[in-house]
């Protein structure tokens, strides 16, 4: 199920893109439908490109038109299979650099390895920084990413970085439902800033926080709710839903303390098993996500609502190309 939200954006395009031969848009294999939507918003076609995989797993990429002196935008989320899609992006960047592109922007709707953003124990890798180094060394001149798991990842890059948010799309959809007695809930203490910003844009809705203790990766133990949710419509907000352990345990606790309805909102639908079983168990009225990551048919369920971020990404790409403000879209 999909829905195209109407974004409160005013396109800053001054000339048809068909007359602008400096902008080129290419897509990796990770999320071609999203890239096609972005291209339609911009009034252009995706550039021709050959992608192949050899028998031993090696990837091959060839750009099939001249991009010399052009501003090139490569759309590729690093979703499952993460390593293949990340490597494909790096090869795309390298191919464009060797083809003498003037500027190469990696458009990463979902930034993989973002959870490994710091050392929490001895002898750990900071993989988010490693990925930043790889993209920079491959030849990227700029990064455009959406809803990073940790905002400080922007600081891992020594090149321009535009960080945009899926919240306008989610907020527009929630506003269309005209829900009453809203309370925005952060599923953990680390997401409080995100939930507070979300609540402010929902007419300063009250905020609640779920206190949990994580015992291992992808395993969460929920402890208690800080804030009043009894008799209210709770909106759980997070950047991603992976195995859905955190958000489903949070919803179960909200039910126990008297929440009337529960909606889950997240930008990235990672949906690793057993996420679908947890999300479709009857805890949620709706699970609202965006299409930064493609959701296969096997992961569809009745309560799922998938919104498109193509207009938002397309407008951002055009503003970057025209040297216009990106942050003004979110004011």
Cα separation of 162 and 247, whole Å?
28
Share of the chain above pLDDT 70, in %: 91
Cα separation of 162 and 160, whole Å?
7
Task: Judge whether residue 287 has pLDDT over 80.
Answer: yes
Task: Judge whether residue 157 has pLDDT over 90.
Answer: yes
Catalytic, 212? Answer: yes
Classify residue 239 by its DSSP letter. E
Task: Judge whether residue 221 has pLDDT over 70.
Answer: no
pTM of the complete model: 0.90
Give the pairing of strands 219-226 and 207-216.
antiparallel
The pair of structure tokens assigned to 90 is 């790096």
Q: Which of 259, 205, 306 is nearest to 3 (CA)?
A: 306
Share of the chain above pLDDT 90, in %: 86
165-200 residue pLDDT tens = 999 999 999 999 999 999 999 998 889 999 999 999
- Alpha-carbon dihedral 69, 75, 79, 84, rounded to 10 degrees: -40
230-256 residue pLDDT tens = 999 999 999 999 999 999 999 999 999
pLDDT recorded at residue 211 = 87
What Rg, from alpha-carbon coordinates, does the chain have? 20
- Cβ distance 20 to 7 under 8 Å? no
Catalytic residue among 52, 129, 200, 212: 212
Question: What are the distances in angstroms from CA 99 to CA 45, 53, 91, 136, 143?
Answer: 19, 21, 12, 17, 19
């Amino acid at each position: 199920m999909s829905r195209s939200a109407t974004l409160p954006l005013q396109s800053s395009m001054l000339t048809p893109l068909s007359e602008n031969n400096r902008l080129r848009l290419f897509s990796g294999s990770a999320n071609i439908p999203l890239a096609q939507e972005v291209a339609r918003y911009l009034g252009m076609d995706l550039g021709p490109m050959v992608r192949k995989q050899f028998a031993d797993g090696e990837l091959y990429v060839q750009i099939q038109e001249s991009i010399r002196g052009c501003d090139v935008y490569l759309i590729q989320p690093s979703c499952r299979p993460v390593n293949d899609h990340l490597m494909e992006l790096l090869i795309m960047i390298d191919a464009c650099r060797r083809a003498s592109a003037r500027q190469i922007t990696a458009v990463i709707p979902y930034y993989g390895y973002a959870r490994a953003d710091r050392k929490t124990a001895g002898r750990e890798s900071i993989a988010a920084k490693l990925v930043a180094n790889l993209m920079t060394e491959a030849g990227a001149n700029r990064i455009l990413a959406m809803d990073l798991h940790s905002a400080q990842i922007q600081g891992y890059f020594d090149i321009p970085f535009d960080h945009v948010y899926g919240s306008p799309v989610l907020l527009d959809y929630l506003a269309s439902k005209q829900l009453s007695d809203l309370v925005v809930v952060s599923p953990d203490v680390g997401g409080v800033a995100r939930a507070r910003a979300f609540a402010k844009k929902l007419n300063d809705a009250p905020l609640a926080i779920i206190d949990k203790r994580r015992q291992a990766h992808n395993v969460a133990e929920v402890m208690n709710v800080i804030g009043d949710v009894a008799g209210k419509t709770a909106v759980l907000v997070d950047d991603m839903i992976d195995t859905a352990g955190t958000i489903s345990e949070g919803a179960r606790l909200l039910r126990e303390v008297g929440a009337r309805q529960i909606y889950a909102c997240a930008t990235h639908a990672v949906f690793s098993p057993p996420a679908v079983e947890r999300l479709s168990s009857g805890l949620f009225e709706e699970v609202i996500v965006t299409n930064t990551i493609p959701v296969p048919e096997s992961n569809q369920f009745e309560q799922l609502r998938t919104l498109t971020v193509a207009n938002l990404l397309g407008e951002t790409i055009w503003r970057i190309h025209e040297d216009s403000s990106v942050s003004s879209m979110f004011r």
